[in-house]
Amino acid sequence: MQSFRTELENPVVQKDIIDLEKKIRLYREGKIHDDKFRSLRLARGIYGQRQPGVQMIRIKLPFGKVTFRQLLRIADISDEYASGNLHLTTRQDIQIHYVSLDKTPELWEKLEQDEITIREACGNTVRNVTASATSGIDPEEPFDVSPYAHAVFEYFLRNPICQEMGRKFKIAFSSSEADTAFTFIHDLGFIPKLKIENGQEIRGFKVLLGGGLGAQPYLAHAVNEFLAEEELIPYIETVLRVFDRHGERNNRNKARLKFLIQKIGLEEVLRLIEEEKLANKSTNYWINRELIPLPKLPEKSDYLFSEANGNLNYDKWLATNVFEQKQEGYFGVYVKVSTGDIPTEKARKFIEVIKDLVADEIRITQNQGLLLKFVKKEALPQLYSGLVDLELAETGFDSVADITTCPGTDTCNLGISNSTELSRVLENVIYEEYEDLVYNRDIKIKISGCMNSCGQHGLAHLGFHGSSIKANGKVVPAVQVLLGGGVLRDGAGRAAEKIIKVPSKRATIVLRFVLDDYHENSLPDELFNHYYDRRGKDYFYQLLKPLADTGNLKDQDYIDWGHEEVFKTAIGVGECAGVMIDLVATLLLESDEKLEWATESFKNDAYADSIYHSYSVFVGAAKALLLDKGINSSTHTGIIRDFDEQFKGNTFLMNQSSFTELVLQINKNEPGKEFASFYLDAVTDFMTKIKAERESLIRE
């Protein structure tokens, strides 16, 4: 590989991209361990696919906002480097697939020309900050949460406190109490609130802490009914510091914030958060409310003639996909995107259709669709006709017929069964047999290719996740059926309950059984989950039990949806949360690099960053020496404690009584120049002695 050059104006991004190219070369030369390199590339949005030798690139779009130009740029990138498809995700990202690792620096550089990043889209980092797609135009919103979501994205991007946590961390902002961003399934969720003090309107947020889906769903705790807007970013910083220091690092299945809360208790986690406040960069952090300006509005006033008016399908589209914004005279328009996939050629035609009719700001929705904004009433017929030509005017957005799904076995290492084709099949059943349900937004159907809930099956009214069963000496593709999940309001929600596992090819029958039973036996105006609660879990188990019988399987039952070959499980190694690095030499090399970062930050007067880099050096170097003794601590606090126990009386410390006393001064001092200088001197001295100790051990 030749050395990569970039002409980007932003020196931070320049350095990032050049560093990635350098690390790829070192990896190819065998000079970087595979586990270390995997962690590094994941934190740069580069994710290994099911198919060997190619990568999925996740493009990080804060709260799903993308301009016309940016979408065209991403389409061009997909054509040049990937498969010519754009996949919209439930976290409002765009993913492209089948990318060569060696081309990723070049790809990234071209994305950044239109201010698009892949940094920290994967790995043990703060993932894409999501928000209600309707934020800014939602008639119910107390205020627009978009500037707050964007400020959080900017503040924690490349922030030292969240680069190598025990696992990923997810943040969401809902625009109103309707909670359309699902705050209750996030590590941190925020719902906007207003109150009046001394005649002044004060903005703040209800705070939800410790939620998550995955194989073990947990609903978040409401920990603050009103967090003032200026305290938002300092509060998130303290939570991340606590998670980084106390969170599990060895057992990735227990490494999310929800498990830390389960392990030590909510009260103790809140105490640690309070204790950490002193170390923050600032007590208050005021966010510019005008950070996200009003998008460029459409100027067109003469519209092409359309025969849409009076058309039954047009009327249905208006009823299910269009709503009036809080801005008088304008409408928001939802675009349903089947399985979240848009071929690049269609994406270009889509922009050509909408560019004169909608504002230059598209939002990706949590159910893998698109939201167009600021459409005039007179423009709706022409917009509809253009979308019809592109087959993007399907009715029933966010209804029973709008099924959310992850890519499953199409590209994901962890996929067990095909979720995308199952989604298409189930949607066809609804459109053909339950046409009126396109108006029903009460029931949500969601599918994941495995138990990890990337398709959000854990919060569905009717959910499926990929699985397998054994029958007649063979492996049969199967789905786990779940019922009863969903959003309530104001941060409350329900996790779906597992009911029964059935062969995948019977999922259509499951759908019919559940919908028919609800239609025939529910009370007038009874919502689905009320009906589910009234009937009880066992009722639905008995209802679906005949479908689990494997005594009458047909040949087609051994073949998964969308396939022709007989099913077999082929699960790879998942990368969603990165991996742990336990190699002593690698840890010391990392610590040297971080010490340089600490020194550089101090020279640039970035004292808080310097302190946290120094802290990371202390922990990383201590872990290296402990590993030499065969001790592998699973948390930062464990490393600090074990180091004191194993190296009592050693001369590693700079006039401090214990390693604990030295390192944990990080949350007992404000991040000023004096403490940053002391801490940097201490860690520099510590590293010198650690390396000397390591060399003496090697000589022995």
Cα angle 251, 256, 259; round to 5? 85
Interior/surface letters 424-442, b for 16+ CB within 10 angstroms, e for the rest = ebbbebbeeebeebbebee
* pLDDT for 578 beyond 70: no
* pLDDT for 581 beyond 50: no
Q: Domain 584-699 sits in which CATH superfamily? A: Nucleotidyltransferases  domain 2 (1.20.120.330)
Among candidate residues 643, 609, 644, 606, the one with its CA nearest the CA of residue 628: 643
- C-alpha dihedral (411, 416, 420, 422), degrees to nearest 10: 160
| DSSP states of 348-416 | HHHHHHHTTTS-S-EEE-TTS-EEEEEEEGGGHHHHHHHHHHTT---S-TTSTT--EE--GGGT-TT--
| DSSP states of 41-75 | HHTTTEEE-SSTT-EEEEEB-GGGEE-HHHHHHHH
Interior/surface letters 650-682, b for 16+ CB within 10 angstroms, e for the rest = eebbeeeeebeebbbbbbeebbeeebbebbbeb
Residue 228 and residue 286: Cα distance in Å, rounded?
A: 10
CATH 3.30.413.10 domain residues, the chain: 130-279, 404-558
Cα angle 506, 507, 509; round to 5? 65
CATH 3.90.480.20 domain residues, the chain: 11-112
* pLDDT for 367 beyond 70: yes
Residue 96 and residue 571: Cα distance in Å, rounded?
A: 21
- pLDDT per residue as tens digits for the range 593-604: 899 999 999 999
- pLDDT per residue as tens digits for the range 20-40: 999 999 889 888 878 778 888
Fold of domain 404-558? Sulfite Reductase Hemoprotein; domain 1 (3.30.413)
Q: Lowest-pLDDT range, 195-199, 286-290, 520-524, 628-632? A: 628-632
- pLDDT per residue as tens digits for the range 54-83: 999 999 999 999 999 999 999 999 999 999
* List of residues 6+ apart from 3 with CB closer than 8 A: 21, 22, 25
* pLDDT for 443 beyond 80: yes
Q: What is the CATH number assigned to the segment(s) 312-389?
A: 3.30.70
CATH 3.30.70 domain residues, the chain: 312-389
Burial class (CB in 10 A: 0-12, 13-18, 19+), 539: middle
In the chain, the percentage of residues whose pLDDT exceeds 70 is 96
Name which residue leads in pLDDT, 283 or 655: 283
Residue 421 and residue 340: Cα distance in Å, rounded?
A: 12
Residue 79 and residue 96: Cα distance in Å, rounded?
A: 10
CATH 1.20.120.330 domain residues, the chain: 584-699
How many other C-beta atoms are found inside a 10 Å radius of the C-beta of residue 578?
25
- pLDDT per residue as tens digits for the range 143-201: 999 999 999 999 999 999 999 999 999 999 999 999 999 999 999 999 999 999 999 99
Q: What is the pLDDT confidence band of residue 696, given thresholds at 50, 70 and 90?
A: low
Asked whether the beta carbons of 173 and 132 are under 8 A apart, the reply is yes
Asked whether the beta carbons of 649 and 643 are under 8 A apart, the reply is no
> What's the whole-number mean pLDDT along residues 481-507?
95
Which residues, listed in sequence order, are joined to residue 478 by a DSSP beta bridge? 467, 503
pLDDT of residue 569: 67
Fold of domain 130-279? Sulfite Reductase Hemoprotein; domain 1 (3.30.413)
Q: Is 11-112 in CATH node 3.40.50.1240?
A: no
Look at residue 152 and give its three-state secondary structure.
Answer: helix
Q: What is the pLDDT confidence band of residue 127, given thresholds at 50, 70 and 90?
A: very high
Mean pLDDT of the chain: 92
The tokens describing 28, both together, are 């190819």
* pLDDT for 307 beyond 80: no
Q: What is the pLDDT confidence band of residue 5, given thresholds at 50, 70 and 90?
A: low
